[in-house]
Amino acid sequence: MPISLFNEKRPILVTCPKALPPLLAAEMAALGLPGRELAAGVLTQGDMADCMRLNLRLRTGHRVLLELARLAAPDPAALAEEMGRIAWEELIPADGHLTVDCSVKNEHVRDARFVNQKAKDAIVDRILARMGKRPDSGPDPVGAALFLHWRDDALTVYLDTTGAPLSRRGYRKMPHKAPLQETLAAGIVLAMKFDADAGHFLSPMCGSGTLAIEAALIALNRAPGLLRSGFAFQHVLGFDPARYAELRREASQAAKKHYAGRIIASDIDPEAVAAARQNARTAGVEEHIEFQVADFRESLVPEPLPDGATGVCVLNPEYGARLGDSPRLEPVYAAIGDFFKQRLAGWRGFLFTGNPELAKRVGLKPRRKTPFFNAKIECRLLEYELYQGMRRPQPETPDETGGKPAAPQGLKGPKGLNELKNSNDHKSPRSSNGPRPQGRPTDRNSQKGPKR
């Protein structure tokens, strides 16, 4: 079975965390690749150049998978036989490196690693037979990469054009405690409808600075993929360095040098602020973010811009997942409500939390609730319109995604694709400054209760 990737349109599956497909679909449509939303991704059509562009520019996607083949494989033996029929010598360098990952649900398989090994053996054996040498293989994403989606007897083979997931931007050298994943942080900022014209951006409880950094990248229209050292598609036979360089230039030229508003990141923990500053420096946006060591109630709130625009403020406090934490955190959530009401009149305030009961302590009715998942924790981004005076708040409305271009007609994914789950792309140590809830991977401020 010969492989042709560079001159024909193929299905492209872009994976993402649960609840992010609407935001991802909007990003892809803006790049001229409208698609169909799935449970954990978006399906579209394109070629290898489109895959390169998606890898460079997407903020909420994890992996860009280009479909190679759909095969019938009722059991592992059939899988190995079918994989051996594909002309891998036309795609994978014999002196290169290969990584295989999979999502499998088959009665004959208990361990996905067995599937990975069977597939790798079939691939490298074919390359050895035809080229006289075989590529190295292993779990590290340092060369060409494949992804297998296997449900019952339906096997779909993808070229993973990304390698290490897009959430690994490369700027977070100092994660500090428990940072938000970059793709989730970007999704939160996009859900806030923040852009270069939205005014100021405040991030009290900034932790390692992921929200503020992603906001700066969005405000400056800087492609996050430009921060990475490389992608898996660069290790595929037929890769066109000149075309890739052209796409990088286009992405660089689309970036802005200045942003009219101010982006302010603050935290009560000096170590968190130091980590956030270093991460912003690595991301190339340090000069666009102001850093402050302060209790969130003492955070700097700038004056409106000359056109009257105020801005947005987002806080991400602890969730209180551990038994007995809620009483300790109730004063913090109540103080957030006071901060919104007393210091941010005329702004849009946001609270990102996985604890709806604690959120009630804010004392304000959210206008909009946008669902997210932080790892396996179901969360909400709550929006509050903070009016001057005693003006009655508008009624709560569901999240709005706006009009989106239609997906290509007849675009269908393989069997069971909506069941595709994303593994945690990277894990960070748990935040701890005094007691902290277990299993809570998120950017967090070391915020204590109100001063007595």
Q: In the prediction, which pLDDT does 428 show?
A: 36
CB 219 within 8 A of CB 339: no
In the predicted model, is pLDDT for residue 448 greater than 70? no
Query: pLDDT per residue over 378-421, tens digit each?
Result: 999 999 999 865 344 444 555 544 444 445 555 666 766 665 65
Q: Quick one: 155 and 197 in the same domain?
A: no
Q: Residue 128 belongs to a domain with what CATH number?
A: 3.30.2130.30
106 occurs within a structural domain: yes
Q: Quick one: 143 and 191 in the same domain?
A: no
In the predicted model, is pLDDT for residue 23 greater than 80? yes
241 occurs within a structural domain: no
Q: Which amino acid is at 273?
A: V
Contacts of 5 (CB under 8 A, 6+ apart): 47, 48, 66, 91, 159, 236, 238
242 occurs within a structural domain: no
In the predicted model, is pLDDT for residue 98 greater than 60? yes
372 occurs within a structural domain: yes
Q: Which amino acid is at 276?
A: A
Structure tokens at 125: 């054996």
Name the helix (H) or strand (E) containing 23.
helix 21-30
Give the mean model confidence (pLDDT) for residues 40-65: 98
Q: Quick one: 136 and 53 in the same domain?
A: yes
Q: In the prediction, which pLDDT does 138 show?
A: 86
Q: Which stretches within 150-240 are classed as H helix? A: 182-191, 210-219
Domain stops at, among 335, 351, 386: 386
Please write down the long-range contacts of 179-182, taking CB distance under 8 Å and 24 or more positions apart. Answer: 179/207, 179/208, 179/210, 179/428, 179/441, 179/442, 179/443, 180/207, 180/210, 180/211, 180/316, 180/374, 180/441, 180/442, 180/443, 181/17, 181/210, 181/374, 181/425, 181/426, 181/441, 182/210, 182/214, 182/224
- The counts of H helices and E strands in the chain are 10, 16
Q: Quick one: 95 and 32 in the same domain?
A: yes
216 occurs within a structural domain: yes
How do strand 348-353 and strand 368-374 relate by DSSP bridges?
unpaired
277 occurs within a structural domain: yes
Question: Measuring CA to CA, how many Å separate 166 from each of 56, 69, 182, 405?
Answer: 9, 24, 9, 24
Q: Quick one: 147 and 202 in the same domain?
A: no
Helix, strand, or coil (residue 164): coil
- Nearest Cα neighbor of 225 from 182, 279, 179, 173 is 182
Q: What are phi and psi of 250, to 5 degrees?
A: -60, -45
Structural domain of 99: 10-160
Query: pLDDT per residue over 107-148, tens digit each?
Result: 888 889 999 999 999 999 999 999 999 999 988 888 999 999
120 occurs within a structural domain: yes
- Nearest Cα neighbor of 198 from 139, 137, 259, 114 is 259
Residue 303: Cβ within 10 Å count = 8
Q: In the prediction, which pLDDT does 416 show?
A: 65
Q: Residue 217 belongs to a domain with what CATH number?
A: 3.40.50.150
143 occurs within a structural domain: yes
Q: Quick one: 127 and 194 in the same domain?
A: no
In the predicted model, is pLDDT for residue 153 greater than 80? yes
Least confident of 109-113, 130-134, 237-241, 279-283: 109-113
How do strand 377-385 and strand 136-137 relate by DSSP bridges?
unpaired
Mean pLDDT (the chain, rounded): 88
Q: Quick one: 217 and 334 in the same domain?
A: yes
Q: Quick one: 19 and 112 in the same domain?
A: yes
Map tokens 């051996």 to a residue.
Answer: 84
Q: Quick one: 196 and 131 in the same domain?
A: no
Q: Quick one: 379 and 274 in the same domain?
A: yes
* Band of pLDDT at residue 2, cut at 50, 70 and 90: low
Q: Quick one: 197 and 315 in the same domain?
A: yes
Q: How many domains does the chain have?
A: 2
Structure tokens at 447: 């915020």
Q: Quick one: 50 and 191 in the same domain?
A: no
